[in-house]
Amino acid sequence: MENDTVRHIKDPLYETLRKEDIAAFNAEKSARADLPSFAHGDFRGLELRGLDAHGLDMRHAYFRGADLRGIDFSQANLEGASLAGAKISGCFFPQRLKADEILMSLNHGTRMRYSAE
């Protein structure tokens, strides 16, 4: 599998997200000691408002057209993720993710790169 391939993750927690059951996801996430990697995950067009993204590995995830409004991603790994056309009002992004990277991804679908700082 190539590094930029979007995939479905074989984990019940991922399936809960795919069903847009955010309350159930957050409850199950807080009860689990081991979180799966959501790297390269397919989140296109999903309504994810209210998601507890703290500690999630979402590297290279694909969020085209997803509703991400108000999510605090500050403690999640979004390196290489794409936000093309997503709703991001009120999102809090990791400090190493610069505004121009977010805008390029939002407007053109580019993969976000973390700054070296």
Please write the tens of the pLDDT for every residue from 26-49: 999 999 989 999 999 999 999 999
Tally of CB atoms within 10 A around 60: 22
> What pLDDT is attached to residue 116?
84
Predicted pLDDT at 1: 36
Q: Which residue has the tokens 């390269």?
A: 40
Q: What CATH class does 1-117 carry?
A: mainly beta
Predicted confidence at residue 8, as pLDDT, reads 82
Mean pLDDT of 88-96: 97
Domain ranges within the chain, ordered by starting residue? 1-117
- Model pTM score: 0.91
Handedness of CA 11, 16, 22, 27 (dihedral sign): negative
